[in-house]
Amino acid sequence: MQLHLSNKTVENDEYLLVLKPSEEDPLFEIKKIELYFGGVDTNSSGVLYNPRIELEALHSILSLIDKTLSSGNHALTSILQDLRDVCIDMIKELGGKIRLETRIVTDFSCDNERCLLQWGESSGVQRKLEVAYVEGAGRGAIATEDLKVGDIALEIPVSVIISEELVHESDMGTIEWSIYH
């Protein structure tokens, strides 16, 4: 995805900033563009609404704005900063909405995943996440504390980045086998 400044070459071009997804962008599909904001649930009006996609889109835009701002050579720094603030507000609003709608299934067993987390922690992984099963979404992770935009949720030391060799040499091999079999 790229952020472009409009050159105002077209008379009806009223936008100063243009966000243009490339065909290689994971949020862009040739047949269907899923990068959107503020949709409504399919139950009420038939329009597809996926909060995960919306959150990914907002995060992509926020990352792009931060990258552009860090270059330091923009004449529109104040506009980009305002756009950044709006993105953060939209992420917070979406997070609040998702939090109210999300139902954690408490009787679902995530023992294998918890075992993997314990192994990671004993190897130096620091986390602010917990394994959970979310109704309608499946197995995933939820925050154990209130995280702000830019907070680190999972920190993995280089020494424990999992490779096939490390898995076979450690006690994690039996854990991996029990998860996938």
DSSP lists the bridge partners of residue 134 as 104, 138
The listed range with the strongest mean pLDDT (74-83, 104-113, 151-160) is 151-160
**Is the per-residue pLDDT at 52 higher than 60?**
yes
> Is this prediction's pTM over 0.85?
no
131 φ/ψ angles, rounded to the nearest 5 degrees: -70, 140
Radius of gyration of the chain (CA): 21
**Exposed, middle or buried: residue 54 (CB in 10 Å: 0-12, 13-18, 19+)?**
buried
- Quote the percentage of the chain above a pLDDT of 70: 56
Mean pLDDT (whole number) for 32-44: 45
- pLDDT value of residue 66: 85
- Quote the percentage of the chain above a pLDDT of 90: 2
Average pLDDT of the chain? 71
- pLDDT value of residue 38: 43
For CA atoms 130, 41, 17, 20, the dihedral sign is: positive
